[in-house]
Structure 1
Amino acid sequence: MNGLERQRIDKWLFFARAVKSRSLAAKLVQAGHVRLNREKIDQAAQLVKPGDVLTMKLERGVVVWRILLPGTRRGPFPEARTLYEDLTSGAEPGA
C-alpha cells in the first residue's frame, strides 16, 4: 500500500465535487456535518481511503458515498463521479 491510498477528507471532498472549494469542505467537516464509517468527525485533516463510507449533510440533503478512489485533481463531474459510489437511498443505481 503506497502513501497515495490515503487522502485528507477536505481535499477528497473538493476533488469529488461535494463542495465548491476546499475551504468549504473543511468548514463542512469542522461543523460536524460529515460522518466517516458512522463516526462523527470534525478534523479537515482526517485521512480517508477507498472503502470508507461518508455520510454528509449537504445543501441538497443527506448523502451517503463509498470512496472508491483517491482524487488527483478537481476534474469535470464525470471524472469526479468515478471517485465514489452513491449509496444514498433513492439514488439511481449505476449512475
Structure 2
Amino acid sequence: MSQRIDKWLWAARFFKTRALAAQAVNGGKVHVDGERVKPARTLQPGDRLRITRGHETREVIVRGFNEQRRPAAEAQGLYEETPESRARRESDAEQRRLLRAAMPRTEHRPDKRQRRHIRRFLGK
C-alpha cells in the first residue's frame, strides 16, 4: 500500500490541513530519504522522512497509512520517530528553555516616562 506524502502528513497530524502539508513539501521542509520531493510523491512503509516545522526537526519512519484523519493516539501509530531525533528535539527544547530563563524580565511594561528615557538612550 502507498499514499501521497501530503495526505499522509495530514493524516499523521503533522499539519492541520492538506494544503499546509503540500505547502511545506513544496517549500523544502519535508525530505524523503534525504531528497526533496513533490506533494504527489507516494510513500511506502519504511520510508524515512525529515520534517521541519519552526525550530523543530523530526525524523520519522513511515509504519502505516490511513485514508482519514483519526485521533492523535491513532495517528502516532502511522510513524515511528527515531531515537536520535527524539533526543535532539528534547535537548533543543531544554536549550531554548534555559535561554529563556537567562533573559532579563521586568515586572511590568515601561510607563510613558520610562519609554521616553529608552527612546532618548537609543537615539530615536
Q: Which of 1 and 2 has greater Rg? A: 2
3-state secondary structure, aligned to 1:71: coil
Partner residue of 1:64? 59
Task: Say if 1:76 and 1:60 are closer, same or farther in 2 by CA, change over 3 A.
Answer: farther
Query: What is the count of residue pairs matched by the alignment?
Result: 87
3-state secondary structure, aligned to 2:61: strand
Give the residue type in structure 1 aligned to 2:28: G
Q: Which moved more, 1:44-53 or 1:55-64?
A: 55-64
Matched, 1:53 2:48: yes
d(CA) in 2 for partners of 1:38 and 1:49? Answer: 15
> With CA pairs under 8 Å and 6+ residues apart, which has the higher RCO, 1 or 2?
1
Q: Normalising by the residue count of structure 1, what TM-score does the alignment of the two structures yield?
A: 0.85
Question: Share of identical aligned residues, percent?
Answer: 36
d(CA) in 2 for partners of 1:68 and 1:23? Answer: 23
Give the residue type in structure 2 aligned to 1:32: G
Which one has a larger percent helix, Structure 1 or Structure 2? Answer: 2
Which consecutive unaligned segments of at least 5 residues does structure 2 have? 91-124
Which one has a larger percent strand, Structure 1 or Structure 2? Answer: 1
1:60 deviation in Å? Answer: 5.1
1:53 deviation in Å? Answer: 0.4
Q: Normalising by the residue count of structure 2, what TM-score does the alignment of the two structures yield?
A: 0.66
Task: Say if 1:60 and 1:82 are closer, same or farther in 2 by CA, change over 3 A.
Answer: farther
Deviations 1:18-66 (A, max 9, x none): 000000000000001111011122x110110110000011135000010
Q: Aligned-pair RMSD on alpha carbons?
A: 1.5
Moved over 4 A (4+): none
